[in-house]
Amino acid sequence: MAAKLLALACIRNESRGGSSGLSPRPHYPSMPKYPKGVAAEEMTAEAEKKALFAVSGMTCAACAGSVEKAVKRLPGIREAIVDVLNGRAQVLFYPNFVNEETIRETIEDVGFEATLIQGETSERSTQVCRIRIKGMTCTSCSSTVESALQAVHGVQRAQVALATEEAEVLYDPKVLTHNQLLQAIEDTGFEAVLISSGEDITKIDLQVEGVRTERSMRIIEESLEALPGVQAIDSSPDVKKFSISYKPDMTGPRTFINVIETTGSRRFKATIFPEGDGGKETYRKEEIRQYYRSFMWSLVFTIPVFLTSMVFMYIPGIKNGLDTKVVNMLSVGEIIRWVLSTPVQFIIGWRFYAGSYKALRHGSANMDVLIALGTNAAYFYSVYSVLRAATSPHFKGTDFFETSSMLISFILLGKYLEVLAKGKTSEAIAKLMDLAPETATLLTLDEEGNVTNEEEIDSRLIQKNDVIKIIPGAKVASDGFVIWGQSHVNESMITGEARPVGKRKGDQVIGGTLNENGVLHIRATNVGSESALSLIVRLVESAQMAKAPVQKFADRISKYFVPLVILLSFSTWLAWFLAGKFHGYPKSWIPSSMDSFQLALQFGISVMVIACPCALGLATPTAVMVGTGVGASQGVLIKGGQALESAHKVNCIVFDKTGTLTVGKPVVVNTRLLKNMVLGEFYELIAATEVNSEHPLAKAVVEYAKKFREDVLSEAEGLAQTGILVSIDGEIAGALAISDPLKPGAKEVISILKTMKVRSIMVTGDNWGTANSIAKEVGIEAESVIAEAKPEQKAERVKDLQVSGYTVAMVGDGINDSPALVAANVGMAIGAGTDIAIEAADIVLMKSNLEDVITAIDLSRKTFSRIRLNYIWALGYNVLGIPIAAGALFPSTGFRLPPWIAGAAMAASSVSVVCCSLLLKYYKRPKKLDNLDIRGISIE
C-alpha cells in the first residue's frame, strides 16, 4: 500500500453557517468569451493568432488541466488545448490583448518549462473528400476508379466501395481541388457527385425563394460572405441553393436566414434545402425506381416473346398462325419476336452497352461486358437466322430472341432486388440520422435567466449556446449541458445502454436521446457536424467505406475473372461445335428444333451469363456494412473492415488499469483519527484546504467530506488503497485510505474471456502493490501483470506479445494508452476516455462497459464467419454453375441449362450474397453476458 504525506495548514472558516456548506467543485474566476469592454463583433477569425508551445514536466492529465486553466484565465484567449503525451500546448488568441511571451510566462508560473515553437502549426495539410459514384456494377469498376484516383497527383489515399457506391479520398488541398477529383472519376466513364469536400467542417444548404436574377444571387452571396465565421459559399443558381461552410463557434444557420431575408427589399425567403442527407437516400430511391421501371417495361415486351416461342407453339390453332410464312421461310412468329425483342436489347438494355464501353475503354472488363456479349450473341445470331430464312426457300433456322430478351429481364430483376437489399445494409446509418428530432423549442432568457419567450424552430437551425427546452417524452434536440431541471434520459439509442441516466444541472446530454420524466433546459454546445450523433454517423460511414484485407482476395480475382469467363465461353462453344462437326457425339443429342452449331452457341452463351463477378465483389463489403451498423446500435463503434477482421483473431487482451478495469474515480474508503477531535471538523478542515486542487485524490477527499456532512459514515474494505497522512498545525492528526473501485463486471468479463481462449494481461503505470491487488481481485494471474509502466513501455509490451505470436487487443482510456492502442492489432478505447485515446483506437466502446469487449470480439467473429460463407457461396456457385452451363451433365443426363435460366441464376447469386449478409442484422450478443449478475457500485 502506497503512502503519501500531505502537510496541510488548515485555517478554519469563521462563518461556517448551515447555508454555506462545502463547495461542490473548485471555484475559478469565470472568464468572459471576449476581453472586458470588447464587442464580440470585433473579434473575428481574421484577428486570431495561433501559437504552439513545447511544455516539459507534465506527467498526467491533471498537469495538462492546470496549464489549460491558467492560460484560459488570460484576457484575449479564444482556445487552449494541451497535449500531455507530446508535451505541446496550442493556443488561439487575439494579439491585441495578449502575446506569446505572456502566455509562455503563464505556463511557467504554473510550474512547467515552456518554449515557443516558431513556424510550426497544427494546420491540416490534408482534406477528406467523399464522392458518390454512379454506374459501378462489380469490383472491376470500383478497382478502375480507385486506380484512377490514386494516380492523381496530390491524392494520398483513395478508397472506393462498391456496396455504398462511394469514394473517400484523402488529398492535399494545396495541390488539387475536389473538382479535379470529380473529373478524374468522370474520365473513367462514371458519373461523380460530391457529397462532402472537407473534414471537421459544418455545412448547411439553404434554398432561397424570390430570387429572379443573377445580381440578386450575387448580392445574397456577398452579404453572407461578410459574416464572421463563414468559410466558403457555393451557389447553385438553377435551384436557388446556397451551400454555406462555417465555424459554429461564431455563427449559424439562423443568422444566415436572417441576413438573407433582410437583404435588399426583403422579398427573399430562406429555408433549409429539402435534401439534407447529401442526396444519398434520394439517389437510392431513384435507382430503385429506375430498375423497377426498366424491369416492368422489359416484361411488357418479353412476355409476348416468351409466349410465342415457348407456349403458343403447343396450341394448334395459334401455332399455325405463327408458322404462317411471310417471305420464303420467314414466319409471322419470327417477325413478332424480332420486333418485340429489339427494344429490350437496344433501349432497355442500353445500360449494359454503356457500361461495357466505359470498362473496355479503360482496359478492364466487368459484368456488363459479359451481359452485352451474351445477349448480342443470341440476338445477332437470331437476326442472321431470320434474314437467311427470308432470303432462302429451304433454310429452316431457329431464333434465340427469347434468350436475349429474357436474359435482360431476369438480370434487371436481379439488379432491382440487389439495390433493394443493399439499401437495407445501410439502415443503421439511416436509423442514427433519424434520431435527431425535426423540431426544437428555443428559449429566450433575460439577464436574470428567466424565460421570456418560447419558439418552435427546425432542429437544424440550432446554434451554439442556444437554450433549448426538452419536455418529457421528447428527444434531446442537441448536444449540450443541463442549466435547469431534473430528469432521466434514455441514451440507449446512442450508447446501447438500456438503463436511463439521471440528469440535473451541469450534466451533459447527447442529441437524439430520449427525455423520460422531467422538463430540462439545456444549453447547446456541439451542433451540426460537431454533434456526437454526426460524429458517430461519420465514423460508421467511414467504417463501411474501409476495405477489409480479405477484400483483396476478391479484387485480385476480379482482374482476371471476366477475361477468363469469356475464354471459357468461347472454348465451350468451340468444343461443342467441333464435336458436332466431326460427329463426336450422337445426332440424337441434338434437339429437333436446332442444329449442332445452335446447340454449341447455347452452351457458350450459358457459360458467359451464369458467371457472376458481382457476388464476389459484394461478399465482404455488405457483411462489413451490416456488421459495423449492428455494432453501432449496440454501442460498439468499429472503425472499418481492418478492425473487424483483426478482432476475430484476437487471443490476447492487454487491459489498462485506471479507468478501464477500475472506475477511474478515487473514493475515500477508510478514515483513522490519530488525535482527539470531531470527525466532521476534521473533514471540514481537509476540504477547505483541498477544495481548489485539481488533483484526483484531492477531489476524492472533498467529495467524501461533502458526503460525510450529509450521511452516516460507512466503513469500506480497503483494497488497493492509497494512504494519506494529514497534519494540522505541524502535528499528524489522522490518515485517509483512498481507493479506485473495480468496474462492474470486470471480474466476470475476465472469466468469460478465459472460456473464449483469450488471455488477459494488465499493464499499468501504478505501483506493483496496487497492480497485484487489482489483478488478484479480477482474476488475472500475477505473471500477467506489468506495473510502473510508462506509455512507451506499454507499447513495447504489446509488441513483445505480438512477436510471441499473439494477436493483441489493447483496451484503454487515457492519453498515456494511445501508443499502445496504436501498436496493438486492435485498439479498443473506453468511450468515456480521452479524445486522443478514442482517435487512436480501432474500436470505441461507447458505454464504457468492459462487457462490450466481449461483444466486439464476438460480433467480429460472427461477421467474419458470414464473410467466409459469402465467399464459399460466391465461389462455389461459379465453380459448380460454369461446368453445368457448359454441358457437363448433358451427355449423361440430357440436362442442359438454357441461357435465360443461366441469366436468372446469375442475378440470384448477387441477391443471395446480400441477403446472407443481411442476416447479421439479427445478431444477439453472447447469452453469457445477459446472465451476468453484475454488481453495482456507488460513487458519490
> Is residue 828 within 8 Å of 811, Cβ to Cβ?
yes
Residue in 469, 192, 129 with CA at minimum distance from that of residue 358: 192
SS3 183: helix
> Is residue 766 within 8 Å of 788, Cβ to Cβ?
yes
- The C-alpha cell at 305 is 416473346
User: What is the rounded (10 degree) CA torsion for 261, 267, 270, 274?
Assistant: 180
Instruction: State how far the Cα of 574 lies from the Cα of 564, in Å rounded to an integer.
Output: 15
DSSP secondary structure letters along 410-447: HHHHHHHHHHHHHHHHTHHHHHHHHTS-SEEEEEEE-T
> Is residue 635 within 8 Å of 929, Cβ to Cβ?
no
Which of 368, 466, 656, 813 is catalytic? The answer is 656
- The C-alpha cell at 908 is 440470384
DSSP secondary structure letters along 240-291: TEEEEEE-TTT--HHHHHHHHHTSTTS--EEEE-S-TTTTHHHHHHHHHHHH
The residue written with cell numbers 433501349 in the block is 347
> Is residue 801 within 8 Å of 784, Cβ to Cβ?
no
The residue written with cell numbers 403458343 in the block is 312
> Is residue 809 within 8 Å of 824, Cβ to Cβ?
yes
Instruction: State how far the Cα of 469 lies from the Cα of 450, in Å rounded to an integer.
Output: 13
Instruction: State how far the Cα of 408 lies from the Cα of 413, in Å rounded to an integer.
Output: 9
Establish whether 656 is a catalytic residue. yes
Within 8 A by CB and 6+ apart from 152, the residues are: 171, 176, 180, 181, 184
SS3 489: strand
- The C-alpha cell at 731 is 502535528
Residue in 842, 769, 847 with CA at minimum distance from that of residue 811: 842
Residue in 623, 541, 433 with CA at minimum distance from that of residue 166: 541
E strands, 614-691, in order: 636-638, 652-656, 667-673
Instruction: State how far the Cα of 474 lies from the Cα of 298, in Å rounded to an integer.
Output: 48
- The C-alpha cell at 159 is 478508397
Residue 675 DSSP label: S
Size (the chain), residues: 940
- The C-alpha cell at 346 is 437496344
Instruction: State how far the Cα of 12 lies from the Cα of 689, in Å rounded to an integer.
Output: 10
Strands 2-7 and 721-728: parallel
Residue 503 DSSP label: E
> Is residue 250 within 8 Å of 187, Cβ to Cβ?
no
| Residue 588: other Cβ atoms inside 10 A | 7
> Is residue 661 within 8 Å of 777, Cβ to Cβ?
no
End-to-end alpha-carbon separation of the chain, Å? 24
Instruction: State how far the Cα of 318 lies from the Cα of 321, in Å rounded to an integer.
Output: 5
- The C-alpha cell at 486 is 431534473
DSSP secondary structure letters along 727-784: EETTEEEEEEEEE-PBPTTHHHHHHHHHHTT-EEEEE-SS-HHHHHHHHHHHT--GGG
The amino acid sitting at 752 is I
Instruction: State how far the Cα of 390 lies from the Cα of 331, in Å rounded to an integer.
Output: 9
- Catalytic residues, by residue number, are 656
